[in-house]
């Protein structure tokens, strides 16, 4: 008897938004939260065309650098839920017809890197889109965190300034930050294997 072959992989998209959205999913913090802002951009393919049916998910630490999950010791994450009034750490945005995504959040604190240093403030990002066999994982850093970015071990491990620039959101002139995510091509965003 011959062995059975593998079942072919399926792509993770396109998404029709059924079951993927929930009311307020793009709000890591509610409107009116102190120091809240929008981080936004476009999801683009290698030709620069918008990906209109992608999903951007973000996970981040609170302002003090603690993640709000069961493995985080009680303390700042719990206190920050009260201070920010609904901080959950997770956001989900479906891309629109022009590939636009947006998440309403606060800037996270620096996270312990496990080696005596700190990672710069950042959002962990999962991207799901048509043509991908698995989600891809990246990060969003902040351009105005120059000192933290220079010392960040993940950014420092990247081969050049161009690669680093694909992860750094710029101030948008409206109190928020903007970063386009490119799935491939010359401007491809750095993605991580985790």
DSSP-assigned states of every residue in 158-191: SSSHHHHHTTEEEE-SSSSEE--EESSSTTPPP-
What are the structure tokens assigned to 5, written together?
């072959």
Does residue 188 fall inside a structural domain?
no
Residue 15: what pLDDT?
A: 59
How far is 166 from 129, CA to CA, in rounded Å? 18
Average pLDDT score, the chain: 87
- Alpha-carbon span 69 to 67, nearest angstrom: 6
Q: Which two tokens stand for residue 136?
A: 């891809």
How many domains are there within the chain?
Answer: 1
Question: Is residue 23's pLDDT more than 60?
Answer: yes
| pLDDT per position as a tens digit, 37-52 | 999 999 999 999 999 9
Q: What is the DSSP string of 47-90?
A: TS-B-TT-EEEEE---TTS---STTSPSSHHHHHHHHHTS--SE
Among positive and negative, which fits the CA dihedral 72, 141, 182, 39?
A: positive
* Domain carrying residue 43: 37-182
Examine residue 3 and state whether it is found in any structural domain, yes or no. Answer: no
pLDDT higher at 160 or 10: 160
Distances (CA, A) of 40 to 4, 12, 17, 87, 127: 45, 22, 19, 18, 14
Is 187 within the bounds of a domain?
A: no
3 state SS of 148: helix
Q: What is the CATH number of the domain that holds 157?
A: 2.60.130.10
Residue 135 lies in a domain: yes
Q: Is residue 131 part of a domain?
A: yes
Is 22 within the bounds of a domain? no
The answer as to whether 63 is a domain residue is yes
- For the chain, the farthest-separated pair of C-alpha atoms sits apart, in whole angstroms, at 66
> Do the Cβ atoms of 118 and 45 come closer than 8 Å?
no
Q: Is the pLDDT reported for residue 187 higher than 90?
A: yes
pTM attached to this predicted model: 0.86
């Amino acid at each position: 008897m011959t062995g059975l072959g593998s079942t072919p992989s399926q792509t993770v998209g396109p998404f029709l938004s059924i079951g993927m959205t929930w009311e307020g999913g793009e709000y890591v913090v509610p409107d009116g939260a102190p120091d809240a802002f929008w981080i936004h951009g476009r999801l683009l393919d290698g030709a620069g065309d918008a990906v209109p049916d992608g999903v951007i998910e973000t996970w981040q630490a609170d302002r003090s650098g603690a993640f709000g999950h069961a493995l985080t010791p009680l303390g700042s994450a719990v206190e920050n839920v009260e201070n920010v009034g609904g901080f959950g750490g997770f956001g989900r945005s479906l891309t629109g017809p022009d590939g636009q995504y947006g998440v309403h959040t606060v800037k996270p604190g620096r996270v312990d890197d496990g080696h005596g240093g700190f990672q710069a403030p950042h959002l962990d990002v999962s991207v799901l889109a048509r043509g991908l066999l698995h989600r891809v994982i990246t990060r969003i850093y902040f351009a105005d965190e120059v000192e933290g970015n220079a010392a960040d071990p993940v950014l420092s491990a990247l081969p050049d300034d161009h690669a680093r620039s694909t992860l750094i959101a710029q101030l948008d002139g409206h109190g928020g930050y903007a970063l386009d995510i490119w799935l491939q091509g010359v401007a491809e965003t750095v993605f991580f294997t985790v």
